[in-house]
Amino acid sequence: MKRCELLIVGAGVAGMAAAVAAWDSGCRNLVLADRADRSGGILPQCIHEGFGLSAFGAELTGPDYADRWAAALKRTGVQLLLNTEVLSVTETKTAILSSREGLGELGFERLILATGCRERAVGSLPIAGTRPAGIFTAGQAQALINLRHQSLGRNILILGSGDLGMIMARRFTLEGKRVIAVVEQNDHYGGMARNHHRCIEQYHIPMLYRSTVSEIHGVGRICGVTLTQLDSGRREYISCDTLITAVGLIPERELARGLGDPDWLYLAGNCHRIHQVADSAAAEAEAIGKRIMQEGQR
């Protein structure tokens, strides 16, 4: 069985930042594994600006920001395993890796999970009605539009006003689609003021506060939703052909399930906690990468 000193799972910003920091702190036997065919995690689909203000002192797009980290990674000797799924991790510090080349076992001394987060799906919400086509999570829609150049629909309703919901409201508008409204259950948008200003206000996209989607209509493809005003209980049918849900992010820690809290396991980036900006995930991961080496020397 192959062995390494440090295994990092996930080559998004957190994984890359942790890898660079660990390398710079003296770690020389380090593997960074990712299921995708490139590094960067979610960043390549985030084509809007706003990344890197603190890490690089510049306002970059997601792909450019990912490239900066990839360049930093490239000057190290970190072994990057792409197209590689980490299937499981055992208590005996062994990871099972799957790729088209085969199934491998990799022993490690320490493990950083930088597996990011997943989006809360519509099925987990108390929404009644049918389960037609035309419902996407915001991140799923972002990947389809920005990476696959697909059209999803024409009349878009967005549920949830976190940063991703607001960014996608602007993105659909720029694609020539009609964003009917962004629906938010609270009385204030969920994301950053900067995104509200740039994505909602500047594009005159309607916000519906203290409201939620309570029912989905349509057989085959979605044709509308019932919108409920939370204070008055008033219900209203709104016609749409696409529903985008931006209703929260959940740290992705499935690999850590059942392991307890061993001293060799670290969580970095969104898999530890949901960060508002990528720089914050990177900073946290860098600190872990450094700390691991210091702890290793003790």
Partner 1 sequence: METYDVVVIGGGLLGCFAARNLRRWDLSVALLEAREDVCTGVSRANTAIVYPGYDHKPGTLKTEMTVRANARFDTLCRELDVPFKRCGSLMVGFGAQAEAVLRRKYENGLAAGVPGLRLLSGAEALALEPALAPGVTLALYAPSAGTVNPWALGVAAFENAVDNGAQPWLNTAVRGIRAEGGSYVVGTDRETFSCRALINCAGLSADRVQALFRAPDVRIVPSAGDYLVLDQTAANAPGHIIQYEPEDGGKGLTAVPTVEGSLLLGPSERENETDFATTLPGLDFVRERAGRVLPRLALEETIRSFAAVRPNPQRFDGGSVGGFVIDNPAPGFWSLIGIKTPGLTCADELGRHVAEHAAAYLQAERNMAFSPQRTGIKKAHGMSCEQRRAAIADDPDYGEVLCRCEDITRAEVLQAIRRGAVTVDGIKRRTGATMGRCQGSRCQQRLVQLLAQEGNIPACAVTKDGRGSEILGGGHETV
Site for partner 1 in 58-117 (CB under 8 A): 83, 85, 87, 96, 98-103, 105
| Residue choice 1, 92, 123, 193 for contact with partner 1 (CB under 8 A) | 123
- Nearest-CA neighbor of 159 among 273, 48, 244? 244
- Region of 59-67, 72-80, 197-205, 211-219 interacting with partner 1 (CB under 8 A): 211-219
**Checking DSSP bridges between strand 94-99 and strand 102-113, what pairing results, if any?**
antiparallel
Question: Residue 193, interface with partner 1 (CB under 8 A)?
Answer: no
Binders of partner 1 among 240-279, rule CB under 8 A?
241-242, 254, 257
Smallest gap from Cβ 69 to partner 1, in A, equals 22
Using the minimum distance from each CB to partner 1, give the nearer residue, 8 or 292. 8
How many chain residues interact with partner 1 (CB under 8 A)?
Answer: 51
Stretch that binds partner 1, among 7-15, 56-64, 166-174, 215-223 (CB under 8 A): 215-223
Q: Which is nearer to partner 1, 57 or 176 (CB)?
A: 176
DSSP state letters, the chain: -EEEEEEEE--SHHHHHHHHHHHHTT--SEEEE-SSSSS-TTGGG--SEEE-TTTTSS-EEHHHHHHHHHHHHHTS-PEEE-S-EEEEE-TTSEEEEEETTEEEEEEEEEEEE---EEEPPGGGS--EE---B-EEEHHHHHHHHHTT-----SEEEEE--SHHHHHHHHHHHHTT-EEEEEE-SSSS-SS-HHHIIIIIITTT--EE-SEEEEEEE-SSB--EEEEEETTT--EEEEE-SEEEE---EEE--GGGTTS---TTEEE-GGGTS--SSHHHHHHHHHHHHHHHHHHHH-
Q: Which of 28, 38, 74, 154 binds partner 1 (CB under 8 A)?
A: 154
128-147 footprint of partner 1 as x/- string (CB under 8 A): xxxxxxx-xx-xx--xx---
124 or 276: CB nearest partner 1:
124
Q: Which is nearer to partner 1, 72 or 125 (CB)?
A: 125
**Among residues 122, 159, 247, 282, the one that binds partner 1 under rule CB under 8 A:** 122
Q: Which is nearer to partner 1, 155 or 229 (CB)?
A: 155
Give residues in contact with partner 1 (CB under 8 A).
Answer: 35, 83, 85, 87, 96, 98-103, 105, 118-119, 121-124, 126-134, 136-137, 139-140, 143-144, 148, 150-155, 214-215, 217, 219-222, 241-242, 254, 257
